[in-house]
Amino acid sequence: MTTIKSASKRPVSRAVRLNRSALFDIAKRWNRLGTPAARAELFDQKARNDAPLYANNIENFIGTVSTPVGVAGPILVHGGSGSREYSVPLATTEAALVASYNRGARLVTSAGGCNVRVVDEGVSRTPMFAFNSIAEAYQFSAFVIANTDRIRDVVPQITRFGQLKNVRTIIEGNHVYVDLRYTTGDAAGQNMVTFASDAICRCLIESAPVAPRFWFLEANLSGDKKAASQGLSGVRGKRVVADVIIPGSLVERALHTTASRMAEYWCAGAIGGVMSGTTGVQGHFANGLAALYLACGQDVACVAESAIGITRMQVNGDGDLYASVTLPNIIVGTVGGGTDLPSARACLDILGLAGSGNSEALAEVCAAIVLAGELSIIGAFCSGDFAAAHRSLSRGETMKRSGDDD
């Protein structure tokens, strides 16, 4: 296989201040927009000072937006590398959301914490190659599989951190889809796998015994930023599982309902999910994940795939509540992307998870806070408090639980 040259690695710009050209470009954009009041809000002094930090994260920069950040917890997590309490920053404009996750987090901690494990990982890019006939497609597919080790050797020339985990081919007519699955270290890895896959594809074209008519770097089989059913049983990013046992007495005291009613709700919700055609069975994974992703500099669009999964609740033999969540597509990193931007770095610092060596722990926090949110929202539906809590926290009305006298 043809050897490719290493891609140049341009250092990230961290200039102290904007140069005159950049300031002039921003001024021109605002002049075209003609909205001075908006300019005062979006391009304030802090946005101006921090603008150089955004050079590799945004184009046509005009300023920044402020989203409120609250904190939920502490939540006690027994993860793959030990036990630790986390205070979890959540960025949102939805009233009652942080309060709900905070209630669930404190419930989990009061129950002794939750167990969390990352059970699989891998990020795919799926190019497609088109040929004249099925015979050519089959020949190319066989070549790819026979040369898996040589394909794997391309990746270190592109990235120091990514590794090609496995390769598989799927033949559809005279088309061959190649599923290239990688591990990406402490980065979320979307760009990493894109660059490596592009290099692999070009090497394949140079070396294959049959040339494709055309090819595409990504042909929509990976599930990137989509709620795909294949992701439910597989993995994209990190597959994370969390569970907890809540004593029945604690359920009654903290959630004002019973373990059996929580399990009954889960059953009703599962059937409702089947009837509506959802991918997986869960209450509101997207709420917690979007808030955590936004706070910690993650790619928020990945919530489309990250928020599929399974919640399960049942009563065990002692009358206690067993609850678990399975999230097969957690795409998070603690290096790269937006994680070095000021507010994201601050939120990762609150978690104690900024920098290398922490991506698995961040994925565990994602599962733990999602579990907390599922317990809290299902408890609210079972106790009849859901609407009253939202009225109280979003409108300032006095909270009145279901069943209270008028």
Active site residue 390: yes
For residues 58-66, average pLDDT: 94
For residues 88-110, average pLDDT: 97
Catalytic annotation, pick one of 25, 50, 179, 299? 299
pLDDT of 15 strictly over 80:
no
Two tokens, residue 45 = 């002094």
pLDDT of the residue at 137: 98
Strands 69-79 and 82-91: antiparallel
Got the DSSP string for 250-284? HHHHHHSS-HHHHHHHHHHHHHHHHHHT-SEE-S-
pLDDT, tens digit, 9 for 90 and up, residues 282-308: 999 999 999 999 999 999 999 999 999
pLDDT of the residue at 115: 98
Assign 24 a pLDDT band (cuts: 50, 70, 90).
confident
Task: Report phi then psi at 93, rounded to 5.
Answer: -110, 10
CB 189 within 8 A of CB 206: no
Share of the chain above pLDDT 70, in %: 90
Assign 400 a pLDDT band (cuts: 50, 70, 90).
low
Angle at 360 between CA 113 and CA 157, to 5 degrees: 175
pLDDT of the residue at 22: 85
Q: Strands, DSSP E only, in 126-253? A: 128-130, 163-172, 175-183, 214-216, 237-246
Assign 23 a pLDDT band (cuts: 50, 70, 90).
confident
pLDDT of 221 strictly over 60:
yes
Catalytic annotation, pick one of 175, 238, 284, 390? 390
Two tokens, residue 53 = 């930090």
Sign of CA dihedral 266, 231, 190, 330: positive
Share of the chain above pLDDT 90, in %: 84
pLDDT of 11 strictly over 60:
no
Which stretches within 277-317 are classed as H helix? 285-295, 303-306
Whole-number average pLDDT of the chain: 91
pLDDT of the residue at 110: 98
CA distances for 90 relative to 72, 209, 286, angstroms: 7, 53, 12
Domain 127-216 has CATH 3.30.70.420: yes
Angle at 91 between CA 87 and CA 95, to 5 degrees: 100
What region does 401 belong to: left with phi over 0, alpha with psi -120 to 50, or beta? Answer: beta
Burial string for 98-134 (b: 16+ CB within 10 Å, else e) reads bbbbbbbbbbbbebebbbbbbeebbbbbbbbbbbeee
pLDDT of the residue at 308: 96
pLDDT of 175 strictly over 70:
yes
Angle at 306 between CA 12 and CA 366, to 5 degrees: 80
pLDDT of the residue at 16: 47
Burial string for 249-281 (b: 16+ CB within 10 Å, else e) reads ebbeebbbbbbebbbebbeebbeebeeeeebbb
- Cβ count near 174 (within 10 Å): 18
Two tokens, residue 235 = 């993995």
Catalytic annotation, pick one of 78, 165, 225, 226? 225
pLDDT, tens digit, 9 for 90 and up, residues 264-282: 999 999 999 999 999 999 9
Rg (CA), the chain: 24
pLDDT of 405 strictly over 60:
no
CA distances for 32 relative to 26, 36, 48, 310, angstroms: 10, 11, 18, 48
Catalytic annotation, pick one of 25, 50, 94, 264? 94
Assign 391 a pLDDT band (cuts: 50, 70, 90).
low
For residues 9-29, average pLDDT: 66
pLDDT of 195 strictly over 50:
yes
CATH number belonging to the domain at 69-120+237-395, selected among 3.90.770.10, 3.20.20.70, 3.40.50.300, 3.50.30.30: 3.90.770.10
Indicate the range of 11-25, 118-132, 165-179 predicted with least confidence: 11-25
Active site residue 94: yes
pLDDT, tens digit, 9 for 90 and up, residues 240-263: 999 999 999 999 999 999 999 999
Active site residue 299: yes
Indicate the range of 6-10, 68-72, 93-97, 320-324 predicted with least confidence: 6-10
pLDDT of the residue at 199: 97
Assign 21 a pLDDT band (cuts: 50, 70, 90).
confident
Domain ranges of the chain: 29-66, 69-120+237-395, 127-216
